[in-house]
Amino acid sequence: MPDRSISLAEGPIPDSLTSRAEIAIKNIDLLEDPGSLAETAPQPDMAVAPIIRFAGVSKRFAARRSSDAVVALDGIDLDVPRSSILGIIGRSGAGKSTLIRLVNGLERPSGGRVIVDGVEIAALKGRALRQAQRATGMIFQHFNLLSSRTAYGNITLPLEIAGWDRARINARAELLLDLVGLADKRNRYPAELSGGQKQRVGIARALATSPKVLLSDEATSALDPETTQSILALLTRVNVELGVTILLITHEIHVIKEICHRVAVLDAGQIVEQAEIFDLFARPSHPTTRSFVQTITGVALPEEFAGRLLPGPKPGGTALLRLTYTGEAAEQPAISRLGRDLDIDANIITGQIQRIAGRPLSVFIVAVPARAEAAALQLLAKLGTEAEVMGYVA
């Protein structure tokens, strides 16, 4: 599993959770709750089986008088590894919310199967469905808190609905308030809380019934960058310390970059690409992925070149190459080797080095004489550097 770029130390560790042992004890309490899917789920191979499986899933919304039918999802095959953070990224209307709502039975697929912890959600009804729904918590962009209830009252609501007795509810709520760092805000109403604090209440409420899966629908989209970081750090803790699988949907690629292990790209109801997080950034293949990734890897041709780019070489012209390095900086003398081995001028036009999932990813745009293009590509291939011809200038 790749490194996470947010360390736990940066997370909002509440004062009351000062030692590992204390955290472990609290986590045992948080996890040891009846009413999870585990009671009904088959046990064999569950450690390796994906916790969520979409198999050939489609979702069609029927036509209404004033609107046509919509195919929101079309042939989705996707496995979510147990205890992972899987990101789903896509533009508005791509089908992200519809996909996530199939996991907790808020929507039913028109075709295919959604299996959560060994159970086909669409096959459940009544009590069994409600029990399965308690095994998936959900958080939202606009928090969806009840304004008439305090932080404490919002967190306890799912436990009241599940019929817990008052003493147990109270003990659980205190643990959750500690976990999300809001013990001192327990009696505050949503109107008295900041956006980040409201989302912490949302996370505590979602974790109340000890879910194995947390569904996050644009949970940081309404927050400023700093608050977003602290919520992402909290989600990372929830994943690492409680082992909760997180299915995180967003249209913001930087959110994916911060905490996800894997990512699937949804475009017009279809998964057009899925990969480990580093590979997605290093080698995006679908145009939608490329445009998302570009905003992070951010290496675009400067205007003075982009404006006069030619599809083919001109005599005496220049070839523009986009080089991607996925190794450590020590492996990067390829540009100087172009000059040394081929006796040509290789000029760096622009470039960027950054860490994705703890690994360095460098992208440079380099200009070489067009006559040396073939030799340059050959040498770069020999050196293990990915190179793509972007075009030519006269």
Ligand X SMILES: Nc1ncnc2c1ncn2[C@@H]1O[C@H](COP(=O)(O)OP(=O)(O)OP(=O)(O)O)[C@@H](O)[C@H]1O
Name the residues that contact ligand X, by CB under 6 A: 61, 70, 72, 90, 92-98, 251
Least distance from Mg ion to the Cβ atom of residue 92, Å: 7
Contacts of 345 (CB under 8 A, 6+ apart): 339, 368, 369
Least distance from ligand X to the Cβ atom of residue 21, Å: 41
Q: Which is nearer to ligand X, 108 or 340 (CB)?
A: 108
Q: Which is nearer to ligand X, 73 or 370 (CB)?
A: 73
**What is the rounded CA–CA span in Å between residue 108 and residue 98?**
9
Least distance from ligand X to the Cβ atom of residue 61, Å: 3
**What is the rounded CA–CA span in Å between residue 367 and residue 261?**
35
Residue whose C-beta lies closest to Mg ion = 97
Report the chain's terminal Cα–Cα distance, integer Å.
46
Q: Which is nearer to Mg ion, 82 or 91 (CB)?
A: 91
Question: Of 93-101, 291-299, 304-312, 384-392, which part binds Mg ion (CB under 5 A)?
Answer: 93-101
Alpha carbon 25 to chain centroid, angstroms = 28
Q: Judging by DSSP bridges, how do beta strands 136-140 and 85-90 pair with one another? A: unpaired
**What is the rounded CA–CA span in Å between residue 364 and residue 390?**
12
**299: partner contacted, choices Mg ion, ligand X, none (Cβ within 5-8 A by kind):** none
Structure tokens, 360: 């360095």
CB atoms within 10 A of CB 126: 7
Structure tokens, 213: 């899966």
Considering the rule CB under 5 A, would residue 97 count as an interface residue with Mg ion?
yes
The residue type found at 287 is P
- Nearest 5°: phi and psi at 373? -60, -50
Helix (H) or strand (E) holding 353: strand 347-356
Considering the rule CB under 5 A, would residue 228 count as an interface residue with Mg ion?
no
**What is the rounded CA–CA span in Å between residue 62 and residue 78?**
24
Taking phi first (over 0 means left), then psi (-120 to 50 degrees means alpha), and beta for anything else, what does residue 391 get? left
Least distance from ligand X to the Cβ atom of residue 104, Å: 14
**What is the rounded CA–CA span in Å between residue 232 and residue 236?**
6
Question: Of 94-102, 123-131, 327-335, 340-348, which part binds Mg ion (CB under 5 A)?
Answer: 94-102
Q: Which is nearer to Mg ion, 135 or 215 (CB)?
A: 215
Q: Which is nearer to ligand X, 183 or 222 (CB)?
A: 222
Alpha carbon 200 to chain centroid, angstroms = 18
**56: partner contacted, choices ligand X, Mg ion, none (Cβ within 5-8 A by kind):** none
Closest by Cα among 26, 86, 74, 17 to 50: 86
Question: Of 89-97, 129-137, 155-163, 274-282, which part binds Mg ion (CB under 5 A)?
Answer: 89-97
Q: Which is nearer to Mg ion, 142 or 188 (CB)?
A: 142
> In Å, how far are 11, 79, 124, 383 from 116, measured between CA atoms?
29, 10, 11, 45
Least distance from ligand X to the Cβ atom of residue 238, Å: 22
Least distance from ligand X to the Cβ atom of residue 267, Å: 10
Q: Which is nearer to ligand X, 61 or 189 (CB)?
A: 61
**92: partner contacted, choices ligand X, Mg ion, none (Cβ within 5-8 A by kind):** ligand X
Question: Of 97-105, 134-142, 272-280, 364-372, which part binds Mg ion (CB under 5 A)?
Answer: 97-105
Least distance from Mg ion to the Cβ atom of residue 55, Å: 22
Q: Which is nearer to Mg ion, 93 or 287 (CB)?
A: 93
Least distance from ligand X to the Cβ atom of residue 204, Å: 24
Q: Which residues bind Mg ion (CB under 5 A)?
A: 97
